[in-house]
């Protein structure tokens, strides 16, 4: 009997079938916090890991149902990013025109203050070849919301820079803070 694709994804199959992502770092917010940064990535993980993955379960204090996660590499806030979004709610599918020359990668979406009480949005962000210096860094993200605003979203992003990734900043677009209990975990997939 064939194994469903979703099972392979959960088991860690992907760029290197049979490999598994290893937990590297986790931050769970004890107080509301504006942003979360993972640092010294090239130094700590560059010689061991081929790809990185962020698993985020978060909510912001924005006075709306949803907010976006903002992603920046190496403190670069110049117009050196591009993104694209494909989103569906079970009835309709939408895509956005590629956004180019932006100051971040914006990922749709996580829950915010007026969404169903105590619900958190979940996001998985794959950062492909972040330590490779012969090409630009790309990401793919899968996210979904339930509650008063339901959808799943597949986002892609590009950092137009060939430097190895040393820091990852996670921020929100419209709120002031990620709320208490938001969790940010960094995983690595070992080089072959």
Give, for 157, the enclosing helix (H) or strand (E): strand 151-159
**Would you state the structure tokens that stand for residue 33, as one six-digit string?**
């916090």
Q: Express each pLDDT in 59-117 by its tens digit.
A: 999 998 889 999 999 999 999 999 999 988 889 998 887 889 999 999 987 889 988 88
The helix/strand/coil state of 8 is helix
Q: What does the buried/exposed string (b/e) look like for 119-131 if buried means 16 or more CB atoms within 10 Å of the residue's CB?
A: ebbbbebbbbbbb
Q: Express each pLDDT in 22-58 by its tens digit.
A: 999 999 999 999 999 999 999 999 999 999 999 999 9
Q: For residue 109, is the peptide bond before it cis, meaning its omega torsion is within 30 degrees of 0?
A: yes
Contact 29, 65 (CB under 8 A): no
For residue 10, what pLDDT is reported?
A: 42
How long is the chain? 192
Taken in order of first residue, the domains within the chain and their CATH numbers are: 20-189 (2.60.120)
pTM higher than the cut 0.85: yes
């Amino acid at each position: 009997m064939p194994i469903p694709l979703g099972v392979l994804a959960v088991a860690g199959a992907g760029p290197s079938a049979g490999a598994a992502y290893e937990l590297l770092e986790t931050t769970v917010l004890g107080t509301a916090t504006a942003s979360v940064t993972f640092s010294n990535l090239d130094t700590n993980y560059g010689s061991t890991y081929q790809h990185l993955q962020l698993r985020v379960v978060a909510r912001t204090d924005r006075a709306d149902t949803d907010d976006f996660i903002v992603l920046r590499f190496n403190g670069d806030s110049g117009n050196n990013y591009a993104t694209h979004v494909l989103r569906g709610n079970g009835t309709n599918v939408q895509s956005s025109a590629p956004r180019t020359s932006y100051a971040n990668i914006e990922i749709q979406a996580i829950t915010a203050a007026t969404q169903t009480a105590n619900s958190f949005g979940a996001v998985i962000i794959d950062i492909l070849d972040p330590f490779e210096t012969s090409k630009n860094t790309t990401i793919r993200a899968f996210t979904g919301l339930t509650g008063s605003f339901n959808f799943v979203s597949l986002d892609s992003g590009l950092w137009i820079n060939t430097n190895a990734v040393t820091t990852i900043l996670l921020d929100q677009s419209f709120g002031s803070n990620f709320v208490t209990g938001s969790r940010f975990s960094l995983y690595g997939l070992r080089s072959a």
